[in-house]
Structure 1
Amino acid sequence: MAGEPAFVTACNRTLCQRRSGAPFSVSARWRREQLVSVAGERVRYERTGASGGSAVLHFCPHCGSTVLTELQALPDFVGVPVGCFADPRFPAPQAAFWCESKAEWAEFPDGTVLTPRQDFPSS
């Protein structure tokens, strides 16, 4: 990836909880033109998202980690799970989606936009 991500989000949707094996997933999204290269083998899985659009997930066939995501709802962006960077200084999410299914004990940093579903903030 070239440059900084356009935004970072957390998803509390039960499908993302199951996919990530965690109470929520955190993804960084870059503009598609910032994608410099994708090395190594990937397995592609496509499912229908809550919006009715497709969600394409790319996995490493050796370890099973999600390495790239593409959402029909955000066609100009590609996502990379923040855990792929193993960087404790990675920026916190600016928004958390699907908070209606958030673990009761989960908290996000002050200033994080929290939405009950996948309602993208207007600003």
Structure 2
Amino acid sequence: MATRTASCSCGQLRIEVNGEPLGVGVCHCLSCQQRTGSVFAALAAFRTPYTVTGEAREYLRTGDQGGRFLFRFCPVCGTNLFHTEEDVGDRSVAVAVGGFADPSFPPPEASVYDCRRHGWVVLPADVTVYDKDPE
């Protein structure tokens, strides 16, 4: 089984995941825009288990529909590298696609909170678009 490693900007925090992504998506919600400092978040979900090395700080955020998301970020460089959803258990982890530093990483399949997408952001033609979160 193939492994992938994503890391923060300074390399202090790393996460190693196994296999292919369960899914890749982008989120345009205002919380993700503020969290990333970009106009959207690009995330890839992977099955557990995963291995984390380095120190992480945590930030718990409640989503629009009540889900509780525990974000982990590097206390040195501030990179927001991965998160889990508390109510889902230990079934998956979402990793920031940019942390893999791999331009050949699979493209997004879904785009959520399209109602908040900046007008100049153009998505691939085959991406499934949701006005808000479909869950």
Structure 1 and Structure 2 fold alike (TM over 0.5): yes
Aligned to 1:89: 104
Task: Indicate the percent of aligned positions where both proteins have the same amino acid.
Answer: 34
**8 A Cα contact 1:55 1:70, kept in partner:** yes
- From 11, 31, 39, the equivalent of 1:23 is 39
Aligned to 1:9: 25
Letter in 1 for 2:132: R
Please list the CA deviations of residues 35-85 of structure 1 after superposition, one character each: whole Å capped at 9, or x if unmatched. Answer: 1x1000000110111111101100000000012111246542101100101
CA distance in 1, matches of 2:26, 2:61: 19
Q: Mind listing any 5+ residue stretches in structure 2 that lack a counterpart?
A: 1-16
- From 76, 79, 104, the equivalent of 1:65 is 79
Cα RMSD for the two superposed structures: 1.2
Instruction: Describe the SS at the equivalent of 1:22.
Output: coil
Instruction: Describe the SS at the equivalent of 2:33.
Output: helix
**8 A Cα contact 1:6 1:29, kept in partner:** yes
In the alignment, structure 1 residue 55 sits paired with structure 2 residue 69: yes
Q: Output the TM-score relative to the length of structure 1.
A: 0.91
**8 A Cα contact 2:18 2:47, kept in partner:** no
**Displacement after TM superposition at 1:3 (Å):** 1.3
Q: Output the TM-score relative to the length of structure 2.
A: 0.83
Aligned to 1:38: 52
CA distance in 2, matches of 1:104, 1:44: 32
Instruction: Describe the SS at the equivalent of 2:84.
Output: strand
Tell me which protein shows more strand as a share of its residues.
2
**8 A Cα contact 1:51 1:73, kept in partner:** no
Q: Mind listing any 5+ residue stretches in structure 1 that lack a counterpart?
A: none
CA distance in 2, matches of 1:79, 1:53: 14
